[in-house]
Amino acid sequence: MSRPRRRTAGSAATSLALAVLLAACGPTIPPIPTSAPTLSPTPETPKPSQGAFVPTAYPPSDDAPCGEAKPPDAAHAAYRGDLKRVVANDASTVVFELCGPDVAFLAEIASPAFAINDTGWLHSHIATSGSGAQPIVDQVNGTGPYRLESWDHGTEISLARNDAYWGKAAKNERLIVRWGGDSASRVTELQNGTVDGIDGIDPAGVDTVAGDVSLQAEPRAGQDIVYLGFDAADPSLANEQVRQAIAGGLDRATIVKDDFPPGAEVATHYTPCDVPHGCAGGDWYEYDPTQARELLGAAGLPNGFQTKIYYSTMPTPSLPDPGRVATEIQTELLTNLGIRAELVAMPDAAYHTTLDDGTLDGLHLVDRGAAYPDPSAYLDPRFGAGASPEFGTPFPDIDQALASGRASVASDKREAAYAKANDLVRRQVPLIPLGRANDPTAYRVDVDAATASPLGLERFAAMTPGDRRQLVWLTTAEPPGLYCADETDPIAGLVCAQLMEGLYTFTPDGAATAPALATSCDPNAALTVWTCHLREDVLFHDGSVLDANDVVLSFAVQWDAEHPLHRGWDGRFAAFAARFGGFLNAPPTGRE
């Protein structure tokens, strides 16, 4: 099999300039234009007209070399990606051929990073040579319920209702996204009615919102998990009863209440409950120090033992003071179980390196997330085949249960598989899930259908801001760009989700997937081929009609590191790498 022809990619885009001072949203809004601005594809890359569709595929002639044993040459790394080929069968059908089964394919492609761009727009708004910021970074031509009206850099982004939208029309005429100030100033603006919703609220702001009847709080459920892990190969911790004793001997509710951010919740499972099947199986142990001491005695350690608690000194949103949490755990272990734990603080890079190498003895405190909202993305990296030796010893029965969860898209089968996996984690206690921090948001009380997406992807088009024509959202910072294929910034993802759409999306207030530009994406029995059927007559904001070739190219420019259009904000396309394992034609360093 011949390898796809290699091409040279240009340099990555540079940063956008931020040049305008922060300004408040005016009391009135300008009239919304009756038609979208003219955004035409370049003449040299015309889009085929209806009836003249010429299907494309990527790679154009051969499959990607799945599982390449070694680098093909000195200039390229071996291909380790999950995609084999993307094919437009006809104008409304796209087939994704994968290197192996992928039960979470829909959750992976529902990210704003995989929004579909028009073929002509990609060619006309990404330069194949030279340097500098790519026009596509701040010029958007999507299919979403809003279209980009203006971006006043440093001040605000204005999105106007897309009256040609294929789905339900936005319930407000315009969405204004602003940013800046501290938590107190954002809460004040919400109380004064100059904005309709805010995020980035500190503890004092949470209290203010709770005490103001003119406001409504909508906390985002946390997606990260803070847990206490064990080196199960450590002689003191090798006995399952010892780990169970520690699980029952920690007052997790008090730890979360006293040492986590306000609004944090005690975790019942490793995976968040918003993720489908994430909380299948029984809840975690209740606090019972008496039973915990009995278990420790039954394990032959009635007087406890000496161990260590390792933690990173780097704070995270879910774990803003890791030393404080580690100290509380140390105190409870000594008080409740007689276990004497030495605290070991480490620089973040060294901590995670030794953690993933499995060279930390004793216990470790860590904050983890996942690349996408599926139980496999949470549990497989910890317990699946090829997981790091973080816990000192493998847990093959957990891996076996996870394999069943990866084998079928049937909801009942996945529920049963993850119930078994979660119950095994609970019984064998390689880790103790402690808690999750919520991300507070708030709205004026008259905003109808106000919700907080656990993924930070609020659907503002569904909200009615009282009797006002526009909805104003005040957030913490300006997004770097709006070409979300090459973005990791969460605020960029939020804005992109209003303008752009992928084949699938996430439900507004959860992490379940739902069809968007596709009416369905259906797998074969082996989960190695997914066939997606596109909606008919979907228009981009410039009037171009969506077809299957748009899907092929939107994926190809991310996938192939040497595609001439593999450029954007910084050229890393991190979301693609996280979800699909690697790039085609990647350089040996892994930098794209």
Domain parsing of the chain, residue ranges: 1-13+54-166+477-592, 225-436
How confident is the prediction along the chain (592 residues), in pLDDT tens digits per residue? Answer: 333 333 333 333 333 233 333 333 333 333 433 333 333 333 334 454 445 899 999 999 999 999 999 999 999 999 999 999 999 999 999 999 999 999 999 999 999 999 999 999 999 999 988 777 799 999 999 999 999 999 999 999 999 999 999 999 999 999 999 999 999 999 999 999 999 999 999 999 999 999 999 999 999 999 999 999 999 999 999 999 999 999 999 999 999 999 999 889 999 999 999 999 999 999 999 999 999 999 999 999 999 999 999 999 999 989 999 999 999 999 999 999 999 999 999 999 999 999 999 999 999 999 999 999 999 999 999 999 889 999 999 999 999 999 999 999 999 999 999 999 999 999 999 999 999 999 899 999 999 999 999 999 999 999 999 999 999 999 999 999 999 999 999 999 999 999 999 999 999 989 999 999 999 999 999 999 999 999 999 999 999 999 999 999 999 999 999 999 999 988 899 999 999 999 999 999 744 3
Contacts of 349 (CB under 8 A, 6+ apart): none
Reduced to 3 states (helix: H, G, I; strand: E, B; else coil), residue 286 is coil
**Is the CB of residue 379 less than 8 Å from the CB of residue 423?**
no
- Please give the distance of CA 156 from its chain centroid, rounded to a whole number: 24
Residue 73 DSSP code? B
β-pair partners for 247: none
Instruction: Supply 77's token pair.
Output: 């790394």
**Is the CB of residue 64 less than 8 Å from the CB of residue 70?**
no
pTM, full prediction: 0.89
CA R_g for the chain: 25
Q: What is the dihedral of CA 268, 271, 276, 281, to 10 degrees?
A: -50
The one-letter amino acid code at 221 reads A
For the chain, give the number of residues: 592
Reduced to 3 states (helix: H, G, I; strand: E, B; else coil), residue 189 is helix
- What are the DSSP E strand ranges found in 167-321? 174-179, 197-199, 215-217, 225-230, 265-266, 306-312
The yes/no answer on whether domain 225-436 falls in CATH 3.90.76.10 is no
Instruction: Supply 302's token pair.
Output: 């009635």
Angle between the N-to-C axes of helices 322-332 and 252-259, in degrees from 0 to 180, rounded to the nearest 10 = 150
Residue 558 has, within 13 A of its CA and on its CB side, a CA count of 29
CA separation for the pair 87, 107 (Å, rounded): 20
